[in-house]
Amino acid sequence: MTRHPTAEPLASTSGRLAALDLLRLVAALGVVAFHYLFRGSAGEPFLDAGYPELAPFALYGYLGVSLFFAISGFVIAWSAEGRDWIGFATSRFTRLYPGFLIGMTASFLVLFAVGDSRLPVTPEQWAANLVILSPALGQPFVDGVYWSIVLELVFYGWVTLALATGQFQKRPLVLVAGWLLLAAVNEFVIDHPVLRMVFITEYAGWFAGGIVSYQILAKRSPPSASRWLLAGAFLLALATSFRGRSWMLEHYGTALTETQLSLGVVAAFALFLLAVTLGRRVPASKTTLLLGGLTYPLYLLHQNIGYLGLNALTPSMGRWQAVLLVTAAMLTASLLFWKYGETPLRHWLQGRLARLAASGFLRLSPR
């Protein structure tokens, strides 16, 4: 990647920014709160008992997904450094798919065994979900949270293409500027659903904000242009957030007010920028690695399995004790999932790909 003259190494030898790991956990817990304390009893409810006392606060939790997108933009820009497109694509595949495979299969097995009519699953549905893009095969997601995984895949695909053509290395800010312009035109002029999906226009501001934040922190591009683009990314993220508000009003009959949503977006973006700024000042440790590592399993597992747990426990212990116990159980299960499932499978897959590279079948960059 073309470097600004004052470019400097980004991170320590740990290869992680601990502050981002902690922010991942905050984002994941926000999503958990949104689902357990609001979504589960809204619209077509999945829970037998709701939490109306905390629902107005839990509404903010869905912004955790937007935070994940900003973090992803930053991490992907970082991950792309020093890699060719094959190395990048295989790195992303080994990060994303092993966890998804285990989490999706675990969710399917639990849902299939319990057989709750509100959360039906079939073997055909599981098979279609193996490719993640199950709606394209006429099958719903095993768990609704997978919609954001699809957007991540689309984002990875565009970055892979940009790396393959050399544009991500040479003109990252030009690519981001063009993306933001296209997103703004589609969201506020054309309003085409295919463009919204293919170019992730509703969430482009968050992804782009992450990419540009990396450019600024790592001093890879002229600072003035980067700051202007970061401001543009924030404004687009703020403006497009109202589309999600309209969707929630239509489906759930309630949503954050425009003022509340604006303040929530500002706070989320500020938290992300604070974590990026503090990244090298917060020491990485086994604890921060663990907390960051369990967030992906937590995101994959918590919703539908959590609803089943809440419905099973609430009659015997009450809804407040049930939500605390289920949340603790999901955190514990996610830790075990990460340590004994996702991580070993990812390492095995990386080893297999490395052997393919050594044989000359697959060319990977050294990083």
Q: According to the model, what pLDDT value does residue 354 have?
A: 77
Establish if 6 belongs to a structural domain: no
Amino acid found at 170: K
Return the exposure string of 318-357: e unless at least 16 CB atoms fall within 10 Å of the residue's CB, then b: ebeebbeebbebbbebbbebbeebbeebbeebbeebeeeb
- In angstroms, the CA 262 to CA 278 distance is 24
Q: Tell me the average pLDDT across 21-28.
A: 97
- Per-residue pLDDT reduced to its tens digit, 203-215: 999 999 999 999 9
DSSP H helical ranges for the chain: 18-37, 55-58, 63-80, 85-114, 123-129, 146-164, 167-170, 172-185, 193-198, 204-217, 223-252, 258-278, 286-293, 295-317, 319-337, 343-358
Q: Residue 136: pLDDT above 50?
A: yes
Q: Is residue 223 part of a domain?
A: yes
Q: How far is CA 190 from CA 185, 196, 278, in A?
A: 6, 10, 39
Give, for 127, the enclosing helix (H) or strand (E): helix 123-129
Residue 219: band (very low, low, confident or very high) from pLDDT cuts 50, 70, 90: confident
Q: Is the pLDDT of residue 362 over 80?
A: no
Query: Does 365 map to a domain?
Result: no
Residue 4 lies in a domain: no
pLDDT reported for residue 218: 85
Is residue 1 assigned to a domain?
A: no
Residue range of the domain that includes 211: 18-358
| 363 — pLDDT class (breaks 50, 70, 90) | low
Residue 367 has pLDDT above 70, yes or no: no
Task: Judge whether 364 lies within some domain.
Answer: no
Total number of domains in the chain:
1
Average pLDDT over residues 162-166: 96
Select from 33, 41, 92, 82 the least CA-distant residue to 58: 33
pTM comes to: 0.93
pLDDT at 361: 62
Q: For residues 39 and 144, give the distance between their C-alpha atoms in angstroms, rounded to a whole number.
A: 12
pLDDT for the residue numbered 279: 75
Section 337-358 average pLDDT: 89
pLDDT 10s digits, 247-257: 999 999 999 99
pLDDT tens per residue across span 79-99? 998 889 999 999 999 999 999
11 pLDDT exceeds 50?
A: no
In a domain, 12, yes or no: no
Please give the Cα distance from 110 to 98 (Å, whole number).
Answer: 18
The total of other beta-carbon atoms located within 10 Å of residue 74's CB is 25
Domain membership of residue 5 (yes or no) is: no
Q: How confident is the model at residue 356 (pLDDT cuts 50, 70, 90)?
A: confident
Percentage with pLDDT > 70 across the chain: 93
Tell me the average pLDDT across 161-176: 95
pLDDT beyond 80 at 5: no
Distance CA 164, CA 154 (A): 15
- Could you say which DSSP state residue 211 is in? H
